[in-house]
Amino acid sequence: MRKIPYLVKSATVAEITDVSGVVASAIGEAALGDTHLNTRVQDLNQLNTDMLRGMAKGRTKELSAPLNTADSLRDNLFRALIHFLKALIYWNKPETAPAAELLMAEINKQGTGLSKLSQEKESAHIDALLQAFQSPALAQALVTTNLVSLNNDLSQAQQGYKNLYKESAALESQKGEIAAASAIRNHVHENLRKVIDYLNVMQEVDAATYNPLALHLAEVIEGLNEKIRARLSSGTAEPDEPAEPV
């Protein structure tokens, strides 16, 4: 009889995930009809699934790059609006200067340095500004200054940013419900040990039924243990994570 060894404690998250998946699959294929063992395997499969989700969990804010791009777009359009209005005010033509001053006064209520604020605060101010621009007087001022198109572009950029922000928040919320793989690894490792303990005992009780499975799993785990020991003795680690103990 060949006892199944424990997986060494220095196994990485990826290694624990791989070997626990192999163990669960081998037990399923063996179809021993062992209710207790099947329950253990179900637990192991669930933990393995959770750990895989944890490994895939993003390490940075979701959609941060698209959000920054969308934020830069609305910043540039807002600056362009200010520059056009200031140019019209300096030009001081009676046909356009009063309308430009009216629009600039509304912008000053929100502030001209919105890009220096947090993205969330900037959004609130731009929303307020765009809402104000819908009033009859300011809407006419946009027509007079020929800035309707620029205002529409700013409105679209703002809506695009808000849509991305909502999507990012939803993804962040989902991600928060996924435990990090490193937080689950101990549970997977412990569950795997319990499966091994049970199979080693059952080999003694019913060798004919359990020995073939135990022999296969012993070879799998011993092979991985040798690989891990070789890696540790050479001082190297997996490229995606340090080989720290469980």
Distance, CA of 47 to CA of 177 (rounded, Å): 14
Q: What long-range pairs does 84-91 form, CB within 8 A, spacing at least 24?
A: 84/145, 84/147, 84/150, 85/145, 85/147, 88/145
Q: What is the mean pLDDT of residues 179-206?
A: 79
DSSP 8-state assignment for residue 59: S
Distance, CA of 245 to CA of 10 (rounded, Å): 4
Of 63, 246, 17, the closest CA to residue 160 belongs to: 63
Torsion of CA 169, 172, 174, 179, to 10 degrees: -160
Distance, CA of 182 to CA of 244 (rounded, Å): 10
Residues 214-242 have pLDDT tens digits of 888 899 898 888 888 888 887 654 443 33
Of 128, 94, 92, the closest CA to residue 110 belongs to: 128
Contact present, 102 and 137 (Cβ < 8 Å)? yes
Distance, CA of 172 to CA of 61 (rounded, Å): 7
pLDDT of residue 57: 55
State yes or no: pLDDT of 108 exceeds 80.
yes
Burial class (CB in 10 A: 0-12, 13-18, 19+), 230: exposed
Q: Which two tokens stand for residue 89?
A: 């005010």
State yes or no: pLDDT of 59 exceeds 50.
no
Contact present, 244 and 35 (Cβ < 8 Å)? no
State yes or no: pLDDT of 243 exceeds 60.
no
Q: Return the sign of the alpha-carbon dihedral for residues 50, 44, 190, 232.
A: negative
Single-letter amino acid, residue 138: L
pLDDT of residue 133: 98
165 vs 60, residue with greater confidence:
165
State yes or no: pLDDT of 101 exceeds 70.
yes
Taking phi over 0 as left and psi of -120 to 50 as alpha, with beta for the rest, 152 belongs to alpha
Residue 233: φ, ψ to 5°: -70, -25
Q: What's the whole-model pTM score?
A: 0.51
